[in-house]
Amino acid sequence: MNDMTYSKLLFLTLIFVAMPLHAQTPENFKRENLVAWCIVPFDAKKRDAHDRASMLKELGLRRSAYDWRQEHVPFFEDEIEQYKAFGIEYFAFWGQHDQTSALFEKHRLQPQLWQMIPDVGTGEPEELPAIAVEKLMPVVEKAASQGCRLGLYNHGGWGGEPENMVAVCKLLHAAGHTHVGIVYNMHHGHGHIADFAESLEIMQPYLHCLNINGMVDLNSPTYRGKSVSHKILPVGAGDHETEMIQTIIVSGYNGPIGILGHVAERDVAEVLKENIEGLEWILGGGEKPKWLQEREQSEAEMETEVKADQPLVEIEADNNAFDARTGFLSIEAPQQFNQGNFQIECRAKFLDRSNFNILLAKNPKSSFNHWEFYSYAATGNLSFYAPGVIPSEIKSEFSVADGKWHDLAVKFELDSDTGTGTVTLLVDDDEVRTQNVDLRKEKKSSEGPLTIGGLASRQFGCNGLIDFARISSLAEHETDSKRLDAAWTFDGVSESDQIGDESPSQRKTSFVPTHLDSDYLSKWTPKHRKDSRFPYENETDADWVDDRFSRMDTGPFFCQSIRVPGRGVVPKAIAVKAQGNDGAHLILDSETLNIKAAWSGEFVALPPTRFGILQTPSVAGALELTGPKNATWMNAGDWTPVDSLHLSAITLQGHKTGFSYDVAGESLTEYPSAKMLGDVCVVTRKFPNPSSKKSFAVPLFEVSGNMENVDVVAGSDAESEINETTHVFKDNKTAFVLRTNSGWKNRDGQVWLTLSGDENRQSNFAAVRYAKMPLDKLPDFLKAFGGMPDVALESNERIGTEDFAQKRWGDPIATEGIRSDADKPFVIDTITVPYQNQFNALMFTSGLDFLPDGRAAVCTVHGDVWLVSGIDDDLKNISWQRFATGLYQPLGLKIIDSDEPSKPASIFVLCRDRILELRDLNTDGEADVYANYCDELKITGQNHGYAMSLESDPEGNFYFIKSGSTPPHGGSMLKVDHETRKLSVFATGYRHANGLGVSPTGMVTSADNEGNWVPSTRIDAVQEGGFYGHMPTHWQTPPPTTYDLPMMWMPRSMDNSAGGQAWINGGDQWGRLDGAMIHFSFGRCSANVVMPQKTEDGTYQAAAYKLDLPNFLSGAMRGRFRAKDQCMYVCGLDGWQTAAIRDGCLQRIRATGIKFCLPVGFNVDGNEIEIAFSQPLDPKSANEVDKWKVDQWNYRWTADYGSEHYSVSDPDRIGHDPVVVQSVKLNEDKTKVSLLIENLKPVMQMNIRGEFKSATGEPLTVNLFNTINRMN
């Protein structure tokens, strides 16, 4: 079950058990406070102002936003007067008109003015907000002069994206135009459904109004059996608005809520009534409104009818199409396609007409030789645009954005001698527009790629499916023999003659996502602060662009969420690299155990944003073959899904990458491969047949319903008694070839391989090869295919541990460490990391632990695990052995020693997709088996959705934190039971808690970073079921109204971005700091001593101070105390806004034995704060009240990023309050000082500073930060 399905089921469960979504309807959702919108032009009854106002009153609505067309202008004042007469608030006015200023002044109205952001062109992304501001300024100033609030209205395009609207608002607010905000419309935000919580979070400070709508996924070809080319549904009729409304309520947004008419062919009163009833049903529970029951019954009947009429044509066309909603293809193409004398042919289906849908385009939009073939916004009319000719825009009157498949073509003929030509548009072979054109004289040309499904500038994409595209040159003379012709079927096979001297599959093709998820970049980027002290605190994404990951040898396989053109993102993909010169790459979906794609050429494209670890990589080469979309393994007997389907392990054997599966209790292993046979890709799979009587059907690929099936060859290999038969599926343009020794079935367009449990089966293995190609390549391919050996002859069996992976990475890499000679109680030694290595491996260290023999295991966020030996006192001979590769962003590592003396310790690695146990079966120092310990973590490939910091408690249970905002696991601390290996949510409400810790006694701690709903970094003692502040990830019903108290808040000056926690455990050299909790700061690259106090009711509070050490080389994240040498080992990495100066580090804090006098304990008792020290203090200086300075402040818990410091005595004032220390006293042994503070009360942040001496006369400076939650 994917994350969205889980979320949907969660909220539907709440509804259908008749429980209300909200115990009490929020004020802004009450009927009398709703804003009626889109009710003037959209009304089948064509009401006048009087009837419209009367209708609103009868419905119980008291607010209206006025939209109009030219025919309504004479009645502007009548509308105002009728609203007054019926007690309707004239809430907002759409757009601009010259008459409004006088009317608003006359009637003393100051409505909101709703305005779209003007077109900003295609400049540099960071410049576009300023361009928008400049274009908006006349409207901004006019609204201000009228005393009106201006609402920027999302209506598609650049100006409709939340992050862009927010960027414009920020610039305007910074210039003093605080009357400008956002009007967000859900019916124009279908692209934001998945990340609505994040979008709402960044927009909320600027929201003027939020208009709700019934929401379905427009990425689906149909909704309940019908086309979803329209976007307007009443509230309650969709799939997502319940969850979105819940998000709105949880967010605390209490501003205006609008409901839509917007259906021109219906009585708007009926539409508004449906919205009101649907909303009240969602909020209050109970029985569904009658209209919704009737609608669902009607849609069920429609769905049955559609399935009966044409079940295969639509499905198969969709399955073989490029899904341009996910992004576009960018292809190098020759200059011959720049300006005229070519023809484009496409087969496409557009699912929405609200915006421009780009089919093909070439060169920058500002260039003379640019052109684009597309459907027009709003109308969906087929159009062609070429700025190099007059007229530039040729529009037909034929709408093709109707949710149906169309054959679309444009013929662009141009005579370069006369400068004249013709553009002809065709739909389904009929001419729909012919236009004579003249060549422009100016020629400001620039080169750019050919794109399919969007513009290279990303200004416009395509909400549709493209099944086929061809571009071909038109020879000016019949004698011309050279003709450029290229076609794409989007299954990785080109039907081209050639483009230039290369086929399209040979030319560089890349997939470009149209939704960059820039809202995530905004959400997870710390804001510039006026209290920033260092340059790194004001770094931006431009500082973190780094493409080195693309040059790293990631090993034989690569685990990631990977985008496959036309198939979207495979969340838990395992990409296996090609072997040999004729090899091809493939992706195993580790959740469905299906081969999702095979491709040739480059491996994967790794976006360089934030060191390559933020955005989703994609298939980089030529896509040759795609697997089934949503099919799962079936029981071959009754065609029901198998009970359980599980990846058990990844195994390296020789040059092969293998996978072990648990399928309904059967253990199966395969070593899938792909290779190029000429220019056709062949995929090979071979499974042991089940040992029991179970039989399984494995989905292989999808074919068109009208494909002919032919048995071509039935024979046997001379060395085998196993018959392998070759089968061909073909139509008039495409062929699939399948060769197998087992049973197979074509079921509803899916081709399945049978794994037979029959005792009379002819082989212990089920083997298959399959390929896809253009029909004209079939004869030559069959000849070559016949020469390939039978699949059954290829070994699939493990022979012994010696046949596991040969040593891949060679001898260890030697480095020499640096042992500090500083004359201080605590120093930092450096275990030098091999930043430069023959693998181009990036050394962003992200987790560590120690094996019983003293070696360290260290993981890196780019996918490696290294074994480090030679970590002794002098660090002269360090060696780094590359142990494992290809892991999905590991950010935690834990070693569990075995209870059995003969069994080695287990290395567990927390990856973003699962917890793996790494095993070295042949003891050559490299992992052979990557065993799947737990993969129940739900992921979608969401940006910034990391899994962080693996720790275990004394019972052996694992804990880690998952960031991101997708339920059920985003923003949660998760626990894995050591006996069942089952995953459960332990606590919720995390934003991006990079670190956690488990004390030797089992106390679980965490630390979350300053940001939205986290006013400052917080350290928590975590309780099961606790909520730790981040509202978008509370996952609780009802929503919490406050958070569990933190152990302590940490100010930004101390920690701007938190790491994990670790404990000194058994270190005599550490004196009274033995047992101390150490908190690491990723941002400040520091270590901090934390002194917790458990109060009488079990609540924790604490004080902390920075340990006097130099900065670590990188952002400190993970700590491990090694009792062997009594050192605290630390690793971390570079990232965003950190003081790191190296990619990663492995260092240790060593206690030198020099005596120290530092705080070691903290306690609040009544009006006294007690601070214990490791050595006696000088009574004279420590008892002087003037030596102590204390101030305090609170934070505000809001959706804003972080918080200012607010006075405790005057909560609206930004600033600190000084606290008077009444008296100071020392205890008898002079190791504990008590500060008496009159009227001491709980406070979020306190700073205690003192300057005095130790008993031996050494100067001491204390700078503690603490939180007081309880007064004992």
Mean pLDDT for 1067-1081 is: 93
Q: What is the DSSP letter of 616?
A: P
For residue 298, pLDDT beyond 70: no
Q: Enumerate the CATH 2.70.98 domain ranges in the chain, comma separated.
A: 551-798
Residue-averaged pLDDT of the chain: 85
Q: What are phi and psi of 797, to 5 degrees?
A: -110, 145
pLDDT tens column, 529-553: 555 556 666 666 677 788 899 999 9
* Residue owning tokens 């290829």: 794
pLDDT confidence of residue 111:
96
Higher pLDDT, 127 or 1062: 1062
Distance CA 1104, CA 1092 (A): 9
pLDDT confidence of residue 517:
38
Distance CA 943, CA 615 (A): 6
Flag the least confident range among 93-97, 705-709, 1182-1186.
705-709
Find the Cα–Cα–Cα–Cα dihedral 773, 775, 779, 782, rounded to 10°: 30
pLDDT tens column, 300-345: 443 333 232 222 222 233 345 787 876 788 887 666 677 678 899 9
813-1151 CATH, one of 3.40.50.10860, 3.30.70.330, 2.120.10.30, 3.30.390.10: 2.120.10.30
For residue 518, pLDDT beyond 70: no
**Contact (CB, 8 A) for 1019 and 1048:** yes
Beta-carbon contacts of 231 under 8 Å, excluding residues fewer than 6 positions away, are: 187, 188, 190, 213, 218, 352, 354
Closest of 1055, 1054, 1056, 1073 to residue 1064, by C-alpha: 1073
Q: List the Cα angle 1067/1118/957 in 5-degree steps.
A: 85
Distance CA 1263, CA 1250 (A): 7
Q: Among 135-149, 722-736, 757-771, name the most confident range.
A: 135-149
pLDDT confidence of residue 458:
63
Helix (H) or strand (E) holding 1232: strand 1232-1236
Find the Cα–Cα–Cα–Cα dihedral 197, 198, 203, 209, rounded to 10°: -20
Ranges of beta strands (E only) in 205-356 are 207-211, 222-223, 226-227, 257-260, 322-323, 327-331, 342-350
For residue 676, pLDDT beyond 80: yes
333 three-state secondary structure: coil
Q: Enumerate the CATH 2.60.40.1220 domain ranges in the chain, comma separated.
A: 1159-1268
CATH architecture of 1159-1268: Sandwich (2.60)
Q: Enumerate the CATH 3.20.20.150 domain ranges in the chain, comma separated.
A: 27-309
Q: What is the DSSP letter of 550?
A: G
Question: How would residue 1138 be classed by pLDDT, with cut points 50, 70 and 90?
Answer: confident
pLDDT tens column, 888-910: 999 999 999 988 877 889 999 99
CATH for 27-309 is: 3.20.20.150
Q: What is the DSSP letter of 204?
A: G
CATH architecture of 316-513: Sandwich (2.60)
Output the furthest CA–CA distance in the chain (Å, rounded): 109
325 three-state secondary structure: coil
Q: How does DSSP assign 60-94, residue by residue?
A: T--EEEE---GGGGGGHHHHHHHHHHHT-EEEEEE
For residue 362, pLDDT beyond 50: yes
Flag the least confident range among 295-309, 434-448, 1218-1232.
295-309
Distance CA 170, CA 496 (A): 49
Write the single-letter amino acid at 81. Answer: E
453 three-state secondary structure: coil
Q: What is the DSSP letter of 426?
A: E
Residue 723 bridge partners (DSSP): 716
Closest of 825, 701, 1261, 774 to residue 1073, by C-alpha: 825
Q: Is the peptide bond before 205 cis (omega within 30 degrees of 0)?
A: no
Question: How would residue 1130 be classed by pLDDT, with cut points 50, 70 and 90?
Answer: very high
For residue 88, pLDDT beyond 70: yes
Q: What share of the chain is helix, strand, coil (3-state, %, to 5)?
A: 20, 35, 45
Distance CA 1089, CA 1079 (A): 6
**Contact (CB, 8 A) for 319 and 702:** yes
CATH topology of domain 551-798: Beta-galactosidase; Chain A, domain 5 (2.70.98)
Ranges of beta strands (E only) in 920-1028 are 929-934, 947-952, 958-962, 972-976, 983-988, 995-998, 1004-1008, 1017-1021
Contacts 24+ apart (CB under 8 A), 173-178: 173/206, 175/133, 177/140, 177/144
Q: At what angle do helices 241-251 and 268-284 cross, to 10 degrees?
A: 60
For residue 397, pLDDT beyond 50: yes
Mean pLDDT for 881-893 is: 97
Ranges of beta strands (E only) in 704-861 are 708-716, 723-730, 734-740, 744-747, 750-755, 765-774, 813-815, 826-830, 845-850, 856-860
Q: Enumerate the CATH 2.120.10.30 domain ranges in the chain, comma separated.
A: 813-1151
Closest of 973, 1115, 1034, 877 to residue 197, by C-alpha: 1034
How many CB atoms within 10 Å of residue 457? 17
**Contact (CB, 8 A) for 292 and 281:** yes
Flag the least confident range among 49-53, 442-446, 613-617, 1136-1140.
442-446
For residue 1150, pLDDT beyond 80: yes
CA distances to 216, 228, 246 from 243, in Å:
12, 20, 5
Q: At what angle do helices 268-284 and 49-59 cross, to 10 degrees?
A: 20
Distance CA 937, CA 571 (A): 11
pLDDT confidence of residue 532:
56
Ranges of beta strands (E only) in 440-538 are 450-452, 464-473, 485-488, 509-513
Q: How does DSSP assign 528-540, residue by residue?
A: P-TT--SGGGG--
Q: Count H helices, E strands: the chain?
A: 14, 79
Question: How would residue 777 be classed by pLDDT, with cut points 50, 70 and 90?
Answer: very high
Question: How would residue 297 be classed by pLDDT, with cut points 50, 70 and 90?
Answer: low
Distance of CA 1249 to the CA centre of its chain: 43
CA atoms lying within 13 Å on the CB side of residue 123: 10
Q: Among 188-202, 464-478, 1075-1089, name the most confident range.
A: 1075-1089
Closest of 617, 574, 615 to residue 593, by C-alpha: 574
Mean pLDDT for 618-643 is: 90
Q: How many residues does the chain have?
A: 1272
Distance of CA 775 to the CA centre of its chain: 39
**Contact (CB, 8 A) for 139 and 100:** no
Residue 304 bridge partners (DSSP): none
